[in-house]
Each structure stands twice: as C-alpha cells, then as structure tokens.
C-alpha cells in the first residue's frame, strides 16, 4: 500500500524564519536529511517533533500543521514570537479585549 505524505507547513515556517534545513536541524539536534523528510511529509510530525520544532520557529506546535505563515500578518507572528511563554496568556487577554460584540457573534 502506498502511503500519502502528511501535509504540513514546516518548510514554510522554516523559510519564514530564514533558516536552512541544516540550521534548523542543528537547533533541534537532528540532521538536515530528517528535516527534509519531515517537511515532505514522508516522516510524520509527531507530538515530540512538533514540541521540538515550534519554539525554534517561534510558533505553536499546531501551527506547523495548520497555519501557513505566508497567509497571516508577519508582524503579528514576529511580535507573538517575542512574547515570553509566561506572558502569552496576558497577551491573548489583551487582544481579546479588542474584539467587538459583532466579532464574537459571527
């Protein structure tokens, strides 16, 4: 049975952060060949890989599977990446305060 590669946005995030496969591999303690397999979907992005890669790429683990950084405002992503983990809940609360009642309804 032929396995269909698992789609993800790892390559897009790596390129967004201007990292080579070799630099990303070095940062997470693996090889460029493994990064290539992960990017192509030939090797699945397990929870372990998502948790190792996301901090280096300045994003959340789920974003590597669901969010193309080219489809969202990069200034927001960069600001978010600079917020320390222990202050992100506070940052989310501040951003939620900007929603209007209409935004929450639809």
Q: Which domain CATH number covers 26?
A: 1.10.260.40
- 42 or 77: whose pLDDT is higher? 42
What is the count of structural domains for the chain?
Answer: 2
- What local confidence, expressed as pLDDT, does residue 3 receive? 57
Same domain, 79 and 60: no
Q: pLDDT for 48-100, tens place per residue?
A: 999 999 999 988 899 999 999 988 877 787 788 788 989 999 998 998 888 87
What does each C-alpha distance from 63 to 33, 36, 95 come to in angstroms?
22, 18, 18
Write out the residue range of the structural domain in which residue 23 sits. 1-70
pTM above 0.75, yes or no: no
- What is the average per-residue pLDDT within 24-29? 98
66, 78: one domain: no
Residues 2 and 44 in one domain: yes
- Which pLDDT score, from 0 to 100, does residue 99 have? 80
Residues 78 and 41 occupy one common structural domain: no
Could you give the C-alpha distances from 1 to 28, 35, 45, 95, in angstroms and in order?
32, 24, 21, 47
């Amino acid at each position: 049975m032929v396995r269909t590669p698992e789609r993800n946005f790892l390559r897009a995030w790596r390129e967004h952060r201007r990292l080579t496969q070799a630099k990303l591999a070095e940062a997470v303690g693996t090889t460029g060949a493994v990064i290539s397999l992960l990017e192509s979907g030939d090797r699945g992005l397990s929870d372990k890989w998502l948790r190792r890669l996301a901090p280096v790429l300045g994003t959340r683990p789920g974003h590597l599977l669901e969010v193309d950084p080219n489809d969202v405002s990069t200034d927001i992503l960069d600001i978010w990446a600079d917020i320390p983990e222990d202050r992100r809940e506070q940052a989310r609360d501040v951003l939620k305060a900007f929603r209007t009642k209409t935004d929450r309804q639809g």
